């Protein structure tokens, strides 16, 4: 690979901080995007799990965007030259509520930069830890894994998926579309073209359709817990394993442990293969 991994590791320990205010509109807009009939959020209400991704948004100017719609490389994240940047997974500890009206702060640190080689080519994994405080109290500690990959090979078929269980105790069947992906991209201020530019997906990424966002799938896993179990999730470990495309029906699934302390979660594509997998602990 062309990247000097020792150079990229100089970014380990780099930090940045952002401040924001937990306002109601993003939470209400997410509820509408998920087809929830929640009452309008008001001051003092706890935001739902994963809604912290609707704040601290990166506002790069248009001139600073790369060809794929992501901000150009460098700055806080290491300047990995591999062309495809994706949401690989992460681990989230929910320690205290974030409430509408709270002053919130996110302190971020790069924990690791690792190079790997797989069947799909060269990979670089970057792990970032975010510590989110609400009115000075630590509310969420998150480790986010980002993967950078080689360009898609022309004409190469998508990788085969791993079959997921077909009979889950919790199961929702969903079908997304361009409007849902547009709304979610707007909510997280994400201009990555794989979520809205079908020609780009087909011609440059080798995908047959628009990609359903990794954080949207993860939000749907947490939303399933919220719909099926009233207890708050304390921790979520999750990882992306396969894409879901906008034109296919997919399922959101959960299988609680026998003792009720946790639940195995996954999204499955139209072929019944795992897409996003996770474990939530109550």
Q: Which pLDDT score, from 0 to 100, does residue 190 have?
A: 96
pLDDT at residue 180 tops 60: yes
Q: Contact, 173 vs 251, CB < 8 A? A: yes
CA distances from 242 to 29, 161, 193, 268 (A): 27, 6, 18, 9
Residue 1 pLDDT: 55
pLDDT of residue 2: 61
**What is the C-alpha to C-alpha distance for residues 186 and 175, in angstroms, rounded to an integer?**
19
Q: What is the pLDDT of residue 62?
A: 93
Confidence of residue 276 (pLDDT cuts 50, 70, 90): very high
Give the start-to-end residue ranges of the domains of the chain.
5-281
Contacts with 222 (C-beta within 8 Å, 6 or more apart), sequence order: 48, 49, 50, 233, 236, 280
Residue for token digits 């969903």?
A: 174
Model confidence band, residue 41 (pLDDT cutoffs 50, 70, 90): very high
Query: Is residue 116 over pLDDT 80?
Result: yes
Tokens coding 230: 């009233």
Chain segment 125-147, per-residue pLDDT in tens:
999 999 999 999 999 999 999 99
Give the pLDDT confidence score for residue 209 in this predicted structure. Answer: 94
Query: Which architecture characterizes domain 5-281 according to CATH?
Result: Roll (3.10)
Q: Percent of the chain scored above 70 by pLDDT?
A: 96
Say how far apart CA 141 and CA 94 lie, in whole Å: 7
Structure tokens at 276: 């996003």
Mean pLDDT of the chain: 94
Q: Tokens representing 217? A: 């799938």
pLDDT band at 171 (very low <50, low <70, confident <90, very high): very high
């Amino acid at each position: 690979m062309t990247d000097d991994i020792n150079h990229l590791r100089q970014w380990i320990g780099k930090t940045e901080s952002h401040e924001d205010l937990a306002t109601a509109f993003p939470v209400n807009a997410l509820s509408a995007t998920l087809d929830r009939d929640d009452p309008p959020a008001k001051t003092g209400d706890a935001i739902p799990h994963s809604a912290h991704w609707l704040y601290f948004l990166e506002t790069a100017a248009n001139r600073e965007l790369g060809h794929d719609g992501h901000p150009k490389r460098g700055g806080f994240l290491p300047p990995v030259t591999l062309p495809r940047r994706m949401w690989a997974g992460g681990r989230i500890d929910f320690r205290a509520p974030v409430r509408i009206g709270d002053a919130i702060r996110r302190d971020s640190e790069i924990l690791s930069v690792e190079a790997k080689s797989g069947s799909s080519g060269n990979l670089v994994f970057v792990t970032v830890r975010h510590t989110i405080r609400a009115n000075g109290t630590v509310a969420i500690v998150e480790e986010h894994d980002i993967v950078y990959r080689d360009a898609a090979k022309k004409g190469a078929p998508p990788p085969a998926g791993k079959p997921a269980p077909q009979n889950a105790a919790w199961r929702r069947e969903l079908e997304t579309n361009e409007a849902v992906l547009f709304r979610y991209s707007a909510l997280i201020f994400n201009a990555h073209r794989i979520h809205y530019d079908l020609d780009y997906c087909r011609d440059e990424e080798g995908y047959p359709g628009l990609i359903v966002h990794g954080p949207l799938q993860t939000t749907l896993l947490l939303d399933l817990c919220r719909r099926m179990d009233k207890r708050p999730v304390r921790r979520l470990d999750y990882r992306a394993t396969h894409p879901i495309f906008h034109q296919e029906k997919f399922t959101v699934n959960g299988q609680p442990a026998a003792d009720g302390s946790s639940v195995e979660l996954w999204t499955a594509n139209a072929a019944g293969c795992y897409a996003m997998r996770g474990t939530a602990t109550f």
